[in-house]
Structure 1
């Protein structure tokens, strides 16, 4: 009897499986699936790079042409240009049985040929229209070069500036990060993916990659579900809600299981809870790398990834070489393979590639839509809007356009470091260095230039920075000779502008730093310049928040310009000479020293909070204050802004209602300027410990000198929701405090009540 029941159970399971066929809602895709062999389906799951471009890993695919002809490739990345892409597409549509076109992908992180500021810099503009348009321009240029799939935006929340890839995201805040994720996805994809000037966007890295332990790239991640859902997952969800077509898995593990093989992450959360129906692609060889995590050999981790919900294997080719065997051994099902192939085919269909495989191959567009004067002009504008005036105590800036200026520093006349990290499609030699920008904007100024110092004097460190070309050149002259030349120029000038900071490859992928200070030779240069008695303004370039307490203590003014992109020099000159009044605000907290890291504004209080003065048995340091050097949202202007009359339009709201919070902002200085008005909320009492404040709204406003405006931000009760200890998303009745001002450390507040 027991044998009969076992046989019946097996029979019913097989019988049920035979009817559990994966089907597509798109008839053309379903018709194609019905014709495909298992080998052809597996082939669609293989994403390869033939090399020749900038690889994002140590592996480059082999025998790519033969694999395309054999139907073993679903997409390519790392190539661009109408001729090259047509040649590859010809192989797919003319020399394979089913003539399935290829996808062509690329990492277009902050512009294509027209390179914009690094994403962390763009986020500092707090301007969603500018950010969205940057994605539109990037899509316009990339599609003109044949690319239809972009591995961007990166939306990882990052609260540890040691992590090099903080440069690629929007900083530490989930509310702002979500707004930027939506803007980027909408910019890349537009409203119609069949438009040949739009492309599929890929939100990455799913998930929690920005929380790598010790700030070390590719490292493990470990956090509570409450922290995940409240702080780290919202920007990914915002991208999904905006209709992003693709998701890329991350290198790190989540709850001990690497993301590329994590079924809870890729299926239970992403597909079942969030309803994502698009394509999930691995990061570069991240499937293979699960073996190093301790999850088994290539066959085992490839089966794990497919069963978890991964659709496409980037470069590793574990799917191509092992899935057939795993299918024969019952470790994967044909239905799972078909489901993954379906998602790849549907992505191609949505792009219109089945109707016209060559729609992105247009030699005319390659000549007319790339690196136009209009695009470069926009890059210049966006860069200027991204700069943050960190310190202006000396009131050195803006400079007069007929001044005698000593322009010094290793980044003052340096094309190689203007584009920033992760600009593989840009050409550094087309960038505008600072010296050239100064001459363009202030032709009547008397400008002398001296290098002043090396970026670093450490030859071993410099070698690590020069993997993609010369970024940190060590001069044949001694450090003293370099300083002496700069000091001589300074003595004959009215003012000194020193351009210092990080080389581009001091941040980015695999560019974590345990010491995030400015290299010593550059600091010695600043100290020597100050000894001349001349005013010194520092133009600071970096891809991350830096620990600059020593620099900040000196009598210098500091303009943070990130790595500004192709129009760097012109944009910097626009701000230094006052053509544009800086309006950027920090989107990641700057620590006093690395010992404060991780540091971010939305921290929870402790049972023993730090007081106004140090005392024992409180949550504080012996050697430094808890407060950051520069808070989230900080950013000065050549003018000044005064806030007053903070108020709410009602004392209480109920669930489903909204409340208006307003404040009067007055420009009390001598220049017209823009201000980012920020709204923060504190839930006074709730079922889980709340952050001390959370960003819940912002507006960028232009005010002429002497002008006042009442700025209103509407706050919905939906904005008060959070995930509680059982991961229910809700708002709880109670008292809320609202803060409105120019940074996260604003002190003026008003209360309102949320009632049931």
Structure 2
């Protein structure tokens, strides 16, 4: 009987495989047939993406100017529209009306090719009123839990499809090297392996087993490549990255997402070593499309073909910029406010300067994604199919993500968890606003409308009042983010005299992209002054940070009894924080980056040995200042319980260049309460021809242990884990000794 069942399962698997291949074959045939019927103008229209606000009636925000829409689709054959109607964040019913209007216009065209709509749904369906908003990506990374990330993407896909939108510009796979960068919070942090695993989970969550399902969306990896590594830390400024480094770190993240099935990729707005990525045939065609075998759509970022001549100065005019980028491998231009791309590309093709083969390649990719998304069958959601939109089930998932992301960095004298019977002072500029919990890309571009759209959600103040009663929470804002008022600080100090604890909420304004650029990595002077003034009261202070990047707190951190990093935890973040502060949830987040102590000490955790000069015992002389001294290191994250690690084992002391290595370690909860912990495995190559990293994260697993419970966690390392990219741009491993480290335990093995 078992043999019969096994045989049926095997045959079922084979049938599924054949069906999948046939489906792909059928789509390819449909694409080829449709392409053969298209005029040059229709093809170039498919490559053109326009913002919806350029199609609105003058003086009537959110309403189409129907002649403009007709012109876009009938005259210019526009294949894609993006962005949000004014004034922002429509309901699913309004989105239904918007997409219905667009679809109706597309159905009047000769070939009835549907319009592909795209949106920046980066932490939930964040441009739909009432949708579920999750922590931003940097917080999701801090969970070290790929299941949570995948679940969040599945819910985001469901609610985005409920909005009749099939394409999201997410995940962000940038690898930030400068913590001042304004989009660090959109990334998964400073580690390539962690980013790869999280990006892979997010792509699988968005696209599922069938991207054409009414509950899945096409993902868009961004921003290919090197965008997060600007030398200045400012947005859209140049990067200098050796190709060896680009391949060993940045490219591996995209490889993982491509393997997971990502349907599209957005190109970086920056330049690498003097070449704008939008103009790089090597990076887009030779590496991405040919070497990595990426079969999806390559879309520009906002105006980035135009910027090739207005900003980068590598083209004399728009026509030359269009030629440069399309020949480099761009498939779709986010123009997005006019038809200059269409007009110039049509002229270039008609004059033979851009071959039709390049146009056909681009349009084939676009049409294939439209077929895969089933847009030729339906473009408008049936709202009855989405009963879970904004449901308690989804809200609970957002809460769980926030609860697992929030990271306890310091807890002197076990000041946390707090006692509900104690009276506390809550103060600080981020304590009573939803926009500081959500950040940018929330309801609108900069996220300044979160207090309006998320008015039914709790700020930190409201969550604490709900937790312990209004009578036990004294509140004053204490200081503004940018300005301080001596009278307000004096008032705050006076109010603090009657409380047992102070909860000090500091952080950043809501921002993204260039408006988030800063010239000073220290937290603002007004907030620092408030923290220093309160620290003189000899009352325990719990510092709560809501920030998209690590703003330096070294001027006053030593005076804080506890430090809680919330990142940008989303709409349920305040509830999760309150439960953590009062011990109803045991914190389990870990830092996905090094939190620097000084503005000129920005070393990553996987630094080179020369970045620690002066740190060893031989050089502890006063004349040496420690080179490597982060405020908190990557992987830091405390708990209300304790965990003991023992019995770190490897299955063999020597491996060949074809062996895997099995690693196991025992973890025990030695405290009094249950808790979750992420077990991190680091690997060090002791000697290599390219200077090795001090350590590199290679595996992680999050486990939950009851008080007194033990669990053996097992990992398998493969040959790729032992390799690095050499100066010939080849992945190689070299004979020698390697060290495995889990918590304070180490084991060494030899590669023969």
Partner of 2:112: 99
Q: 1:621 to 1:89 in 2, by over 3 A?
A: farther
CA contact (8 A) 1:677 1:699 kept: yes
> Given the alignment, which residue of 384, 395, 407 partners 1:364?
384
The 5 Å alignment of 1:383-462 reads: 383-424=402-443, 427-443=453-469, 446-457=472-483
> Given the alignment, which residue of 300, 306, 314 partners 1:288?
306
CA contact (8 A) 2:44 2:359 kept: yes
CA contact (8 A) 1:388 1:583 kept: yes
CA contact (8 A) 1:118 1:421 kept: no
Q: Give the SS at the match of 1:26.
A: helix
> Given the alignment, which residue of 577, 596, 599 partners 2:601?
596
Separation in 1, partners of 2:187, 2:639: 24
Separation in 2, partners of 1:664, 1:430: 44
Partner of 1:188: 206
Q: 1:430 to 1:76 in 2, by over 3 A?
A: farther
Separation in 1, partners of 2:217, 2:572: 25
TM-aligned CA deviation for residue 708 of structure 1: 3.1
Partner of 2:373: 351
Q: More deviation in 527-536 or 118-127?
A: 527-536
Q: Give the SS at the match of 1:283.
A: coil
Q: Give the SS at the match of 1:543.
A: coil
Task: Work out whether 1:157 is the aligned partner of 2:154.
Answer: no
Task: Work out whether 1:479 is the aligned partner of 2:485.
Answer: yes
CA contact (8 A) 1:402 1:444 kept: no
CA contact (8 A) 1:287 1:318 kept: no
TM-aligned CA deviation for residue 578 of structure 1: 0.9
TM-score between the two structures when normalised by the length of structure 1: 0.88
TM-aligned CA deviation for residue 595 of structure 1: 1.0
CA contact (8 A) 1:440 1:570 kept: no
Separation in 1, partners of 2:54, 2:680: 45
TM-aligned CA deviation for residue 607 of structure 1: 10
The 5 Å alignment of 1:292-307 reads: 292-296=311-315, 297-307=317-327
TM-aligned CA deviation for residue 445 of structure 1: 6.9
Partner of 1:750: 747
TM-aligned CA deviation for residue 404 of structure 1: 1.3
CA contact (8 A) 1:401 1:444 kept: no
CA contact (8 A) 1:53 1:78 kept: no
Separation in 1, partners of 2:686, 2:672: 39
Summarize deviations over 1:615-670 as a string: whole Å, max 9, x none: 59x9x996554221111111111222232332322111222322222233233333
Partner of 1:5: none
In the alignment, structure 1 segments of 5+ residues that lack a partner are 1-22, 55-59, 458-477
> Given the alignment, which residue of 122, 139, 152 partners 1:109?
122
Q: Give the SS at the match of 2:426.
A: strand
Q: 1:695 to 1:184 in 2, by over 3 A?
A: same
Task: Work out whether 1:490 is the aligned partner of 2:503.
Answer: no
TM-aligned CA deviation for residue 25 of structure 1: 6.5
Q: Give the SS at the match of 1:205.
A: strand
The 5 Å alignment of 1:703-742 reads: 703-741=705-743
TM-aligned CA deviation for residue 723 of structure 1: 1.8
Separation in 1, partners of 2:402, 2:700: 20
CA contact (8 A) 1:656 1:718 kept: no
Task: Work out whether 1:632 is the aligned partner of 2:605.
Answer: no
Partner of 2:98: 84
Separation in 2, partners of 1:453, 1:396: 24
Task: Work out whether 1:577 is the aligned partner of 2:576.
Answer: no
Separation in 1, partners of 2:654, 2:456: 56
The 5 Å alignment of 1:120-139 reads: 120-139=138-157
Q: 1:309 to 1:670 in 2, by over 3 A?
A: same
Summarize deviations over 1:433-488 as a string: whole Å, max 9, x none: 0111113333497222111111211xxxxxxxxxxxxxxxxxxxx71332233223
CA contact (8 A) 1:115 1:379 kept: yes
Separation in 2, partners of 1:679, 1:178: 15
Partner of 1:16: none
Q: 1:562 to 1:607 in 2, by over 3 A?
A: closer
Partner of 1:171: 189
Q: Give the SS at the match of 1:627.
A: coil
> Given the alignment, which residue of 664, 677, 680 partners 2:679?
677
Task: Work out whether 1:322 is the aligned partner of 2:344.
Answer: yes
Separation in 1, partners of 2:713, 2:26: 49
Partner of 2:518: 513
Partner of 1:7: none
Task: Work out whether 1:379 is the aligned partner of 2:398.
Answer: yes
CA contact (8 A) 1:157 1:211 kept: yes
Partner of 2:9: none
TM-aligned CA deviation for residue 107 of structure 1: 0.4
Separation in 2, partners of 1:608, 1:508: 32
TM-aligned CA deviation for residue 370 of structure 1: 2.6
Partner of 2:19: none
The 5 Å alignment of 1:496-575 reads: 496-505=502-511, 508-575=513-580
Separation in 1, partners of 2:100, 2:499: 56
Q: More deviation in 194-203 or 406-415?
A: 406-415
TM-aligned CA deviation for residue 299 of structure 1: 0.6
User: Size of the alignment, in residue pairs?
Assistant: 695
Separation in 2, partners of 1:93, 1:518: 53
TM-aligned CA deviation for residue 53 of structure 1: 12
Partner of 2:8: none
Q: Give the SS at the match of 1:496.
A: strand
Summarize deviations over 1:550-576 as a string: whole Å, max 9, x none: 222114211011121111221111111
Partner of 2:17: none
Q: 1:318 to 1:340 in 2, by over 3 A?
A: farther
Q: Give the SS at the match of 2:118.
A: strand
CA contact (8 A) 1:287 1:301 kept: yes
TM-aligned CA deviation for residue 70 of structure 1: 2.0
